[in-house]
């Protein structure tokens, strides 16, 4: 009994892992109501595979596979057909236009003023009059465009030139050197050890994180700083 349960759970786990990889990351990264429904259904079917009888597990496995294929087909049609995308995936809804609340849209999606104000405050906006447009996206989040006179000034507005700033390359994570990133930066382990020694780090295994930005600056954070005392930062 226990061995059978372990085997079925293992099969369910790897089947779910494989199919979710096939379906893609969107179900987590851009969770819409439809994606949420798919996630709940997939989880329920997977539970039936693990806990059901042999016949039930086989049936559930087939259902899960078909469900995943239908999801992929739906996503494909979603990409190809604007009409399908509009009626199945819905579209963003305007809640504020030119500083005025669009009450009819608020009523259609059952969105209250309290909910709208909460979402605006999360964007550091406390006055509806400061908003040019506010829209509810497919994932339920609110996107806000402040009025032009309320937007932060950028270097481009001041006609100031700025240097390029790209992604920081992770070179050490939790005491382990990221050899691929180091090689991609045109550097080697000897360079890294030398740079760490300049920061009084004798062993890279003591490093919690080290990253190289596009200006060549190496940021280093140790697992335990030299001047840190036990219990200094609370739970330790």
Question: What is the pLDDT averaged over residues 124-133?
Answer: 90
Band (166; pLDDT cuts 50, 70, 90)? confident
The pTM (predicted TM-score) of the whole model is: 0.50
For residue 207, the model assigns a pLDDT of 93
For residue 231, the model assigns a pLDDT of 53
Q: Are 12 and 46 in contact (CB under 8 A)?
A: yes
pLDDT at 113 over 70: yes
For residue 234, the model assigns a pLDDT of 47
**Residue 46 to residues 9, 78, 131, Cα–Cα distance (Å):** 9, 26, 45
CA 183 to chain centroid, in Å, comes to: 27
Distance CA 212, CA 169 (A): 5
Question: What is the pLDDT averaged over residues 212-218?
Answer: 89
Question: What is the pLDDT averaged over residues 18-47?
Answer: 61
**Low-confidence winner among 2-6, 115-119, 202-206 (lowest mean pLDDT):** 2-6
User: Which CATH superfamily, name and number, covers 169-222?
Assistant: bsu07140 like domains (3.30.240.20)
pLDDT at 233 over 50: no
**Low-confidence winner among 19-33, 57-71, 137-151, 214-228 (lowest mean pLDDT):** 19-33
Judge if 93-150 and 169-222 fold alike in CATH terms: yes
> What is the fold, at CATH topology level, of the domain defined by 93-150?
CRO Repressor (3.30.240)
Distance CA 181, CA 210 (A): 11
Between CA 119 and CA 90, with CA 95 as vertex, the angle to 5 degrees is: 100
SS3 49: helix
> Domain extents for the chain?
2-86, 93-150, 169-222
Question: What is the pLDDT averaged over residues 8-25?
Answer: 64
Question: What is the pLDDT averaged over residues 31-56?
Answer: 65
The better pLDDT of the pair 198, 236 is held by 198
**Sole residue written with tokens 């609110």:** 142
Q: Which residues on adjacent β-strands are paired with residue 142? A: 136
pLDDT tens digits, one per residue of 169-189? 999 999 999 999 999 999 999
Query: What residues contact 134, with CB distance under 8 A and at least 6 apart?
Result: 94, 95, 96, 116, 119, 120, 142, 143, 144, 145
Question: What is the pLDDT averaged over residues 183-212?
Answer: 93
């Amino acid at each position: 009994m226990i061995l059978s349960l372990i085997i079925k759970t293992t099969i369910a786990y790897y089947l779910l892992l494989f199919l979710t990889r096939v379906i893609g990351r969107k179900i987590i990264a851009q969770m819409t109501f439809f994606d949420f429904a798919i996630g709940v259904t997939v989880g329920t079917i997977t539970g039936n595979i693990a806990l059901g009888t042999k016949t039930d597990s086989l049936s559930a496995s087939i259902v899960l596979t078909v469900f995943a294929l239908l999801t992929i087909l739906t996503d494909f049609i979603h990409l190809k057909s604007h009409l399908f995308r509009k009626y199945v995936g819905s579209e963003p809804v305007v809640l504020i236009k030119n500083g005025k609340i669009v009450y009819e849209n608020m009523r259609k999606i059952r969105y209250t003023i309290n909910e709208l104000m909460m979402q605006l405050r999360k964007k550091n906006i406390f006055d509806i009059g400061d908003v040019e447009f506010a829209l509810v996206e497919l994932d339920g989040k609110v996107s806000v465009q402040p009025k032009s006179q309320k937007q932060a000034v950028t270097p481009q507005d001041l006609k100031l030139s700025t240097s390029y700033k790209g992604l920081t390359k992770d070179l050490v994570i939790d005491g382990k050197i990221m050899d691929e990133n180091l090689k991609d930066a045109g550097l080697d382990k000897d360079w890294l050890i030398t740079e760490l020694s300049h920061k009084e780090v004798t062993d890279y295994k003591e490093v919690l994180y080290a990253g190289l930005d596009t200006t060549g600056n190496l940021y280093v954070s140790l697992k335990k700083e030299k001047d840190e005392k036990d219990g200094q930062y609370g739970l330790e």
